Amino acid sequence: MTAPAGPHGIVLVDKPAGWTSHDVVGRCRRLLGTKKVGHAGTLDPMATGLLILGAGQGTRLLTHLVGLGKTYSATIRLGQATTTDDAEGEALGEATAATGLTDEQLEAALDALRGDIAQVPSAVSAIKVDGQRAYARVRAGEDVQLDARPVTISRFDVLARREDGPFCDLDVVVDCSSGTYIRALARDLGAALGVGGHLTALRRTHIGPFSVEEAATVPPRGQDDVSLPLQGLGEAASRTLPTLVLDEAAATDLGHGKRPRVPAVVTRMGAAGTGAGADALVAALDGEGRLVAVAAVEQSGHLRPVLVIPPGART
């Protein structure tokens, strides 16, 4: 198996406001000098914060990163609902005074949105309905009704509260499962309080163990001499999966699609997990910490390769 030329790894980027996730991917393709760049989850243009990009063989690892939990900081304006559940949409009806809400009322509404809930995504989301994005159908004038889906909100806390005319602005922090829509939380919080609500600011600060503090700033267009820091595939996989370090023979076998036994090849486990049970996925590394494969630990005690990285692309 021959790896294509070009960089291979993971890039953490702090997306600026006004850029689409596709804009960032296009910019990074130019900076990295490769067309093979993808992302693990998008952010709306108004949002800022952490995007995980994969370059070269790193695009294949993204499959194992998209389901990681996320943390957001956001501002919710209570007192007005909008067509898009954020500040870019049109107001729905007249503003409702939200300044008289008590802390007890607010906490009760927040608590109802914590834990395992069924959330109806925003109608202007990128979810496909009969092959077309929901937001495209909304822009075409259709009335889009999306089904509720299970999400988990581990944290939904108010950090600060301000009043602005009839509105009550809340700075919040949210820890949630992948697939959660923060705009929908703003909408549902306002609806529960009877005053309407929408999102006015959003920043993603964490995706699993990855933090926006590690992320690179996207240089302005025209500054093409800036290099983006690439995180090795072995390092990135080890932060999200239990880790096995293989001896040379086992690494060769696994790299060729064979199924070496686990007890004969383990020199270290852990890092991202508490161990690898049967059918668990692990990051299989060579002696230099480079990613050989993502593999499943079978009941028989063998490693079954799920994603094999060609030798020339291992980082």
pLDDT of residue 274: 38
For the cut 90, the answer to whether the pLDDT of residue 224 exceeds it is no
At 233, the amino acid letter reads: L
Q: Which pLDDT tens digit goes with each residue over 131-166?
A: 565 555 555 555 667 778 999 999 999 999 999 999
Which residue among the candidates 14, 44, 85, 188 is catalytic per the annotation? Answer: 44
pLDDT of residue 227: 80
Place 273 in a pLDDT band, splitting at 50, 70 and 90. Answer: very low
Higher pLDDT, 48 or 40: 48
Non-local CB neighbours of 292 within 8 Å, separated by 6+ positions: 246, 251, 254, 255, 284, 285, 286, 308, 309, 314
Find, among 47, 13, 62, the residue nearest to 307 by Cα.
Answer: 62
Q: Could you tell me if 157 and 72 are in contact, meaning their C-beta atoms sit under 8 angstroms apart?
A: no
Q: Which pLDDT tens digit goes with each residue over 62-103?
A: 999 989 999 999 999 999 999 889 998 889 889 999 999 999
CA dist., res. 182 & res. 75, Å (int) = 10
pLDDT of residue 128: 58
Helix (H, G, I), strand (E, B) or coil at 113: coil
> Chain-wide mean pLDDT for the chain?
87
| Strand 197-207 to 48-55 pairing | parallel
For the cut 50, the answer to whether the pLDDT of residue 56 exceeds it is yes
23 is catalytic: no
pLDDT of residue 42: 86
Q: What whole-number percentage of the chain has pLDDT above 90?
A: 69
pLDDT of residue 126: 60
pLDDT of residue 139: 59
Non-local CB neighbours of 155 within 8 Å, separated by 6+ positions: 71, 114, 173, 174, 175, 176
CA-CA-CA-CA dihedral for 195, 200, 206, 207, to nearest 10: 80
pLDDT of residue 268: 44
